Chains A and B, each alone.
Chain A
């Protein structure tokens, strides 16, 4: 299925079989490869059944469908990276949306204040959860309890009729706004230029200290990014302008990429997930890093909740319930973020959400029964974790270390 080339590593740990070498290559920072291949297979299968699957309209629908999952999964990635887990953020997204929409629609406050209040509430709740975890309660239990409490809390913050309808209000514009085609291309151009300039700056830095480098490290990623951005804008602006949720996801991803890969905070995030004791000995404030991850998750959950409410034109007692939580965790894991901490990237949130969203979208498009969707999504999740286990172990067979 996948042909992954590998350079020999020259260490004594070099696996002898080609399968072993492929595993090692993928294990070393090329974890997106299996996901992208999986995605291509899913698309090919559904496209062979119905050509409408890869129409501009359906791809635009797909991106809107996965936006909420992707944003929530992004938050989950931060928590998984430090080696914790969260089960409460989906319901939290409903609570934050209820608070925010209530303030804007029922109390008539400006949209900006409502959004800010939503984000602050999300962070406040995960702050408390993080304190409980720092006290020593395992995150699985702390957030499971948190989830149940939140299910009660959403009934408290909703008005008596247990719904907030936001059709026709400023709140609905979050999801329905379309960025004009020209502006979208301009944004793509600015982002590409900024990224290229940043890579070039890094290239100059490395030249200045005599490190080995080449201009390929500037242009290869820049051309790749330009392809994704301009291609994306081209496809997604065919019907109307660029949907606002897509821009929100893109901006959050960009910030997440910078923070996790370019800053000291990012290094410490991976260190804490990789080996807590080693991180502690190196003077990294481990508990504070866990707290930061949960605060980021709280903000992501709030944003996800508001985007979803705006898309559904309302908040109800079931907002954030259903498969959202499992989809978000599954998305992060399918995308290549390890459940054991220390391995993964912000891209995994979007790639994984795309895989899961592509399956449910295709199943609905073909009019297949719901059980097919459950079977397929569940299988993909298990396969993804199996791949993670193989990559972590560095060998295809159990009980063997290469």
Chain B
């Protein structure tokens, strides 16, 4: 069954056509890569799915049910979490504090809403282990961690509410070679957990390594869709740049 199903999504900003009748499906345990040049509509599509923007027309179904993603909170409740490119971590807080930021386990008002740190630490440990994110200590401010570890924490934070679909916006953009490998492994583990993953990337090598399916956008429309191992690098590039239109399949 499809976890997420977008049908004929269109979005205009004033006179600008950002998206035109885009279809996108994500299945259980599937990694879908979204590629496209700047202005192709990737960001708009992600904003719509994560509840930041609403589409003008079109339908969104989550697990077959009609969903109205009117706010990030609504999207999260529907089971869709997004890890934005800037990660949105508080550098001065530690891993546990960041994982539960805004959704802390706490005691009653009589205790001054005392943080129930032991509960959070235990859950943090489990989530981090589930993706094999290794930290020397849960008490280190995340500013002292490596880029890969920070990306890992940001992804684990999305997993705290056990979402069906995780969207990763340029997860490897700012990373070195070994840390990129780390993050690609994380994506594989997300898939192995049976989640649907949407990855937005500029890096065709990354796309090749992780994606089960590649969707290419150009000028707000879906121009191509490839299954794993059914495409060459030049197929991707030409779909993005429009060198040969209409290889839709």
> Are the C-beta atoms of A270 and B88 separated by less than 8 Å?
no
A158 to B228, CA, bound (A): 81
What interface size band does chain A fall in? 35 or more
In the complex, what residues of B have CB within 8 A of residue A284's CB? 101-102
In the complex, what residues of B have CB within 8 A of residue A205's CB? 116-118
Answer whether residue A374 sits at the interface, using C-beta atoms and an 8 A cutoff. no
Q: 19 A-B pairs, CB-CB below 8 angstroms?
A: A11-B146, A11-B149, A24-B144, A28-B140, A205-B116, A211-B118, A211-B121, A262-B115, A264-B104, A264-B114, A266-B115, A271-B97, A271-B101, A274-B92, A275-B89, A282-B88, A283-B102, A283-B103, A342-B90
Q: B93-123: contact bitstring with A at CB < 8 Å (1 yes, 0 no)?
A: 1000100011110100001111111110110
List residues of B whose CB falls within 8 A of some A CB: 72-73, 84, 88-93, 97, 101-104, 106, 111-119, 121-122, 125, 136, 140-141, 144-146, 149, 179
Q: Give the distance to chain A from B150, nearest Cβ to Cβ, in Å.
A: 10
Answer whether residue A12 sits at the interface, using C-beta atoms and an 8 A cutoff. yes
Tell me the nearest residue of chain A to B179, going by C-beta: A12
> Are the C-beta atoms of A267 and B93 separated by less than 8 Å?
yes
Q: Give the distance to chain A from B179, nearest Cβ to Cβ, in Å.
A: 8
Task: State the majority secondary structure of interface residues on A.
Answer: helix
Interface residues of A in 241-293 (CB under 8 A from B): 258-259, 262-267, 270-271, 273-275, 277-279, 281-284
Tell me the nearest residue of chain B to A10, going by C-beta: B136
Tell whether A265 pairs with B113 under 8 Å between CB atoms, given A210-B122, A282-B102, A284-B102.
Answer: yes
Taking a contact as CB atoms closer than 8 A, the residue among A267, A275, A277 that contacts B115 in the complex is A267
In the complex, what residues of B have CB within 8 A of residue A262's CB? 112, 114-115
Tell whether A209 pairs with B145 under 8 Å between CB atoms, given A267-B101, A278-B101, A342-B90.
Answer: no
Tell me the nearest residue of chain A to B76, going by C-beta: A283
> Are the C-beta atoms of A11 and B145 separated by less than 8 Å?
yes
A259 to B122, CA, bound (A): 23
Taking a contact as CB atoms closer than 8 A, the residue among A12, A24, A343 that contacts B92 in the complex is A343
Q: Which 7 A-B pairs have the closest CB atoms?
A: A282-B102, A274-B92, A274-B90, A283-B102, A209-B122, A282-B101, A342-B92
